[in-house]
A and B are shown apart, each in its own frame.
Chain A
Amino acid sequence: MSGPSLMDSLFQRSLEDIIKGLRQQLIGEQAFISKALEEIRKEIKSTDLSTKSTALLKLSYLSNLHFHDLSFAAFHSLEVLSSPRFSHKKIAYHAISLSFHDSTPVLLLITNHLRKDLNSTNEFEVSLSLQCLSRIANVDLARDLTPEVFALLSSNKLYLRKRAVAVVLRVFEKYPDSVRVCFKRLVENLENSDPQILSAVVGVFSELACKDPRSYLPLAPEFYKILVDSKNNWISIKVLKIFSKLAPLERRLAKRVVEPICDLLRNTGAKSLLFECIRTVVTSLSEYESAVRLAVGKVREFLVDEDPNLKYLGLQALRIVAEKHLWAVSENKEVIIKSLSDADPNIKIESLRLVMAMVSEHNVSEISRVLVNYALKSDPVFCNEILGSILSTCSRNLYEIIVDFDWYVSLLGEMSRIPHCQTGEEIENQLIDIGLRVKDVRPELVRVARDLLIDPALLGNSFLHSVLSAAAWASGEYVEFSRNPLELMEALLQPRTSLLPSSIRTVYIQSAFKVLVFCLHTCFVRGGSIVPSASLNNLPAGVSASVSYESFDEFSVENGADASVVHGQTCASAPITKESIVNLLNLVELALGPLLGSYDVEVQERARNLLGFVDLTKPEVLNSAVQEKDDSEGKGVETSKIIKLMHDAFSKELGPVSLSAQGKVSLPDGLELKENLGDLEMICGDLEPPSSNAFSFGSSYEQKDGLSFSNLQIKEDSEQTNESTSLLAEHRKRHGLYYLPSGKSELVSNDYPPANDPTLQGDIDDNADNLVKITAESLVPKRKSNHGKPRPVVVKLDEVDEKHVAMKKPESRDDSLSGAVRDVLFGCEDAPPTLSQSNLSNKLSSKRKGKEKQHTDPHAESKENVIDDGNSSLRRKDHSHGKERRHRSPRKKNAEERKETNQKEKEKSRRHHGRHKSRQRAEEPLKVSAQTPVIPDFLL
């Protein structure tokens, strides 16, 4: 019987063997471990406790440092726990606190073991058990073991008492009702003279106060005394933490503590305490100018210290000060700027944040200049950190600090060219956003966009693709500000665009469409009046380069970097002549021809649209070009009609759309989004293939502009649609639900015209019309708000309210969240009065007579209030209040102090409704917070 157990214990490998073995395994560590685990699995089932415990020890080693699951041994560790031997217990407790969690199934079985050990006479066993409880406590454990912990709170062994104090925090967290039982004793420990106990209690309160400071205001006198008397730095730090939470809640308290804290600031030699003082002053006592000055002085010492730790902390402290006292930051400007090039990335980031805190509308351009220079020199991570913070600071509150938008837009362009830049998406959003919001900046925006588009090198950088997409969009949308649309067209269609992802390519093609329409319109409809016409020789080299297939062979290959240099010089005037238009049309055909076979539907479709348009217009253009502009009336009329139509379509401006716009549109009656649109086949069946599909764009501007086309017009359009579009359209129809939202989101970011138009265009029934209307509705009010306000040079933008709505939502959610937290805490905090008054006051009556009297006789209490003088009553007083008041709603406190005559009745009623009140209080946290609670006068 005992054979195997003997063998096991004789030949069992000890923990040391395992560790040695592991260290000898250079390779095959895993194999060694799994072999060891196998052994352990066997050994742990042994009936011999020492074998078992050794196995458990080995297992916890492996679990701890090699992360092997030890949950399978949960029950075995309980078995070892039941051993009478201390060494076994120790191993078992270690394993348990390592592996148990709330859902461990055998957690229920541990309660009695813990209870037994908590009552043990061996203080080390008790300590182990407490230690374990602090780690694995759940609601049940906390509830069941509260009496034991309560008993230990007044244990005469200091060793246990301080541990119990620390553990009580966990018990409170898990089982708030235990506050009723234990809180009083915890408060008593605040008066203990032993520094270790005191340190533990203050530690508990500083944790509690972090979560809900208000409830602990009544204990302020106690904390104050500790602050003044304490000679122990550990304790002082914790008390300061408590005061940094309490002081903002009660002005008089802040006034009271500011002096002692300043004394500490001046006199302490310990850096940790000094730092805590500084932080307390800057976070919670920032109204006290002299204290802040003193603290900032100390911060400066930190900043110039050799020790990078102090430097870092000094910068952090400055960042807190910066919110209210910007002077503190500017006083230390040199050090901060110097820290930007510190060796330590953390210090760099801190100083960057501080620099950003200094930014105002007066210095934004200088600071950005400095930072961009730093960004050019620094490593990629910090570079992007810098760019990100510039972007977020400048765009804060709808660009409130930006005065010169031209400068900002060109800064954006510059930033995107910084080699390590990875903030493309943010730059994209801001470029588009500014384009939409700030009218006056558009010419500059187009210029910046052109510079970006024209540089073929940028196309190879995938981080910049989104910036390019914004640039393409802007140049298409605001092409009328372009000095040379032909050159833009060239850039948009350059061969290297094949490097772009198709989603961005579609933006390019769409923009090219807009530019083309603009060129045609200027040329034919307006007769090229705005743009001074010039000879073909003046055509920028880029254009000629890729038009060269037809005419200029000499430039045929190069349209690269040199071309763009040439652009820089010649772009001053952009001629749009008929010849150049013809070249342009050829170029479009050449560049987009291959895309007709693209696998990406969007690209294919857009290319097809554009080519269709070219097909439609080209004969006329050629015709008129040949006739050398004699009568542009005759046949050209139809074409110019089309061109005019398209131009009108594109010339309406897009307004910013709030994210919630879609949600605001109510579903109109009779709109059947899910209806099967099979009858499309009929409509598309009798189409004539050759004629253009350009009109599939018809609805793209409908969408955009809210122009409602007459049914007839649409019908006409759709009849011209060729077969492939109809197939596409059908696809869309089938997945209409899928397309619609994407179209919407596109609208929001305005990347390219909504993708859902073909659906609308294709089907002519009411649904389509409705859809158009809906989108129009969702857009129109926005646009009104957008353009209704006249916007001078710099723009305080529209949509502010929109934004506010959007921003408020999360805020209010936060409120309700914190409200809920408060509910819970109030719930747990005001639990005590009911029990503590009945139970505890009885229990403790022998110990604290004075207190008991006050508990039972509220009248006496109020009398004392009047008599109240000086320090001695201060503490006594607090205890009565400490117990009662802290559980009372502060509101009530207020009332109490104002009308002492009423107090008696109130107290009575409170007694009666003690239980009700707790509930009631939970319901009125808001009211409570609205009123400043009154701290007992004795403090002040």
Chain B
Amino acid sequence: MIHFVLLISRQGKVRLTKWYSTYSQKERTKVIRELSGVILTRGPKLCNFVEWRGLKVVYKRYASLYFCMCIDPDGNELEILEIIHHYVEVLDRYFGSVCELDLIYNFHKAYYILDEILISGELQEPGKRTIVRAVAAQDSLVETVKEQTGSISTIIAQASK
């Protein structure tokens, strides 16, 4: 299973963290500090795997972002690389040629998409189209609600109650 997913920028800024195993807030900070130290310093043409505290971390760099996933020692590294790629492709499809800024401003969306792909540390949905459809469906649910509440008139109506 996947223990956690991290997105770290080249400058060491954290863009997304998702924890499937239990880590306290303190441990989380420590893990990120340790791993970004290890991963960001690795040169370009090296392999994408790092052994770390008896676990394995698979990372891949897309543009300025490092996508990292931590797995058990007997996990399949190449499979995880494919999952990372899968995630990136879905993000790309959803945002339309995704860039780091998209993830910065829509950090919760990135989460929701990840939640569609992985559940409790397991790959959930290998079909890109299905994922995008599901996310879009949820977005529309959110939008309609927003429309109801978002307009000034509803606020005023609320206020004058």
Chain A residues close to B by CB (< 8 Å): 2-3, 5-6, 9-10, 15-16, 19, 23, 48, 50, 57, 60-61, 63-65, 67, 69, 85-87, 90-91, 94, 98, 101-102, 122, 124, 130-131, 134-135, 159, 162-163, 166-167, 169-170, 196, 199-200, 203-204, 207, 210, 232, 234, 237, 241, 271-272, 275-276, 279, 308-309, 311-313, 343-347
Query: Is B97's beta carbon under 8 Å from chain A?
Result: no
Q: How far is the CB of A194 from chain B (nearest CB, A)?
A: 12
Beyond A309-B47, A309-B81, whether A196 also contacts B125 by CB under 8 A is yes
Q: Give chain B residues whose Cβ lies under 8 Å from the Cβ of A134.
A: 119-120
Say whether B126 contacts A2, CB under 8 Å: no
Q: Which of B43, B104, B124 has the most CB of A within 10 A?
A: B124
Taking CB atoms and an 8 Å cut-off, the chain B residues in 13-28 that contact chain A are 13-17, 19-20, 22, 24-25, 28
B residues sitting closer than 8 Å to A (CB atoms) are 1, 13-17, 19-20, 22, 24-25, 28-29, 43, 45-51, 72, 74, 76-79, 81-82, 104-105, 107-108, 111-112, 115, 119-120, 122-127, 134, 137-138, 141-142, 145-146, 149, 155, 158-159, 161
Residues of chain A lying within 8 A (CB to CB) of residue B107? 15, 19, 61, 64-65
B122 touches A237 (CB 8 A): no
Q: Is the CB of A275 within 8 A of B76?
A: yes
- Determine whether the beta carbon of B25 is less than 8 Å from that of A67: yes
Q: Bound complex: CA of A9 vs CA of B128, how far in Å?
A: 37
Cβ distance B40 to chain A, nearest Cβ, rounded Å:
15
B24 pairs with A101, CB closer than 8 A:
yes
Q: A19-B105, A23-B104 in contact; A94/B119 too (CB < 8 A)? A: no
Contact B47 A312 (CB under 8 A): yes
Residues from chain B with a CB closer than 8 A to the CB of A210 are 72, 74
> Which of B1, B19, B127, B149 contacts A50, CB < 8 Å?
B149
Contacts of A85 in B (CB 8 A): 145
When distances are taken between beta carbons in the complex, the residues of chain B under 8 Å from A67 are 25, 28-29
* Residues of chain A with a CB closer than 8 A to B46's CB: 308, 343-347
Shortest beta-carbon distance from B75 to chain A in Å:
9
Is there contact, CB below 8 Å, between A343 and B45? yes
A276 touches B50 (CB 8 A): no
What's the minimum C-beta distance from A87 to chain B, rounded to whole angstroms? 4
Point out the residues of chain B lying under 8 angstroms from A5, CB to CB: 158-159
Q: Are B78 and A271 in contact, CB atoms less than 8 angstroms apart?
A: yes
Given A65-B15, A343-B46, A169–B120 Cβ distance below 8 Å?
A: yes
17 contacts between A and B (CB under 8 A): A5-B158, A15-B108, A63-B25, A64-B17, A67-B29, A87-B142, A94-B108, A101-B24, A134-B119, A135-B120, A166-B120, A234-B123, A241-B74, A308-B46, A309-B48, A309-B77, A347-B46
| Distance between B126 CB and nearest chain A CB, rounded to angstroms | 6
Q: What chain B residues lie within 8 Å of A122 (beta carbons)?
A: 141
Shortest Cβ gap from A338 to chain B (Å):
15
> Nearest Cβ distance between residue B137 and chain A, in whole angstroms?
7
Q: Is the CB of A234 within 8 A of B47?
A: no
Q: List, in ascending order, chain A residues with CB within 8 A of B125's CB.
A: 162, 196
Distance in angstroms from B94 CB to nearest chain A CB is 16
**Closest chain B residue, CB of each to CB of A168:** B120
Q: Which residue of B lies closest to A132 (CB)?
A: B115
Are the C-beta atoms of B108 and A309 separated by less than 8 Å? Answer: no
Nearest-CB distance from B23 to chain A (Å)?
A: 9
Contact B161 A87 (CB under 8 A): no
Which listed residue, A63, A90, A346, touches B47 by the CB 8 Å rule? A346
Report the nearest B residue to A85, measured CB to CB: B145
User: Bound complex: CA of A374 vs CA of B119, how far in Å?
Assistant: 46
With the chains together, A5 CA to B160 CA distance in Å?
12
CB distance from A569 to the nearest CB of B (A): 48
Given contacts A94-B111, A237-B79, A309-B47, contact A86 B105 (CB under 8 A): no
Across the interface, which residues of A come within 8 angstroms of B104, CB to CB? Answer: 19, 23
| Chain B residues positioned under 8 Å from A50 (CB to CB) | 149
Contact residues in B for A166 (Cβ distance below 8 Å)? 119-120, 122, 124
- In the complex the two chains form, what is the Cα distance from A16 to B76 in whole Å? 38
Q: Which of B13, B47, B78, B137 contacts A344 (CB 8 A)?
A: B47
B157 to chain A, nearest CB (A): 11
The docked-state distance in angstroms from the alpha carbon of A503 to that of B123 is: 57
**Across-interface contacts of B47 in A (CB, < 8 A):** 308-309, 311-312, 344, 346-347
Determine if A313 and B141 form an interchain contact, defined as CB atoms under 8 angstroms apart.
Answer: no
Instruction: Report the bound CA distance from A361 to B44 in whole Å.
Output: 39
Contacting pair B20 A135 (CB below 8 A): yes
Choose among A6, A130, A203, A345 the residue that contacts B159 (Cβ–Cβ < 8 A). A6
Chain A residues whose C-beta falls within 8 Å of the C-beta of B155 in the assembled complex? 6, 9-10
Cross-interface CB contact of B79 among A57, A61, A162, A276, cutoff 8 Å: A276
Q: In the docked arrangement, what's the CA distance between A592 and B15, Å?
A: 63
Q: Nearest chain-A residue to B143 (Cβ)?
A: A87
Q: Across the interface, which residues of A come within 8 angstroms of B111, CB to CB? A: 94
Cross-interface CB contact of A309 among B14, B19, B49, B127, cutoff 8 Å: B49
Complex contact B112–A90 (CB within 8 A): yes
Question: Is B51's CB under 8 angstroms from A200's CB?
Answer: no
- Nearest first, the 6 closest Cβ-Cβ pairs linking A and B are A272-B78, A134-B120, A308-B47, A344-B46, A87-B142, A312-B47
Name which of B72, B108, B146 has the most chain A CB atoms within 10 A of its CB. B108
CA A90 – CA B140 in complex, angstroms? 13
Is the pair B158, A2 in contact by a Cβ cutoff of 8 Å? yes
Q: In the complex, which of the residues B1, B25, B82, B126 contacts A199, with contact meaning CB atoms closer than 8 Å? A: B126
- What separation, in Å, do the CA atoms of A111 and B142 have in the docked complex? 24
CB contacts (< 8 Å) of A345 on chain B: these are: 46
Kindly report which residue of chain B lies nearest to residue A207, judged by CB atoms.
Answer: B1
Partner of A90, one of B15, B16, B119, B142: B142
With a CB–CB cut-off of 8 A, which chain A residues contact B105?
Answer: 16, 19
Q: Are A203 and B48 in contact (CB under 8 A)?
A: no
Q: Which residues of B contact A64 (CB under 8 A)?
A: 16-17, 107
Residues of B within 8 Å of A19, CB to CB, are 104-105, 107
Q: How far is the CA of A63 from the CA of B125 in the complex (A)?
A: 28
**A57's closest neighbor in chain B, by CB?**
B108
Closest to A71 in B: B25
Known A-B contacts A6-B159, A87-B145, A346-B51; A130 and B108 likewise in contact (beta carbons under 8 Å) = no
Q: Is the CB of B124 within 8 A of A200?
A: yes
With a CB–CB cut-off of 8 A, which chain A residues contact B161? 2
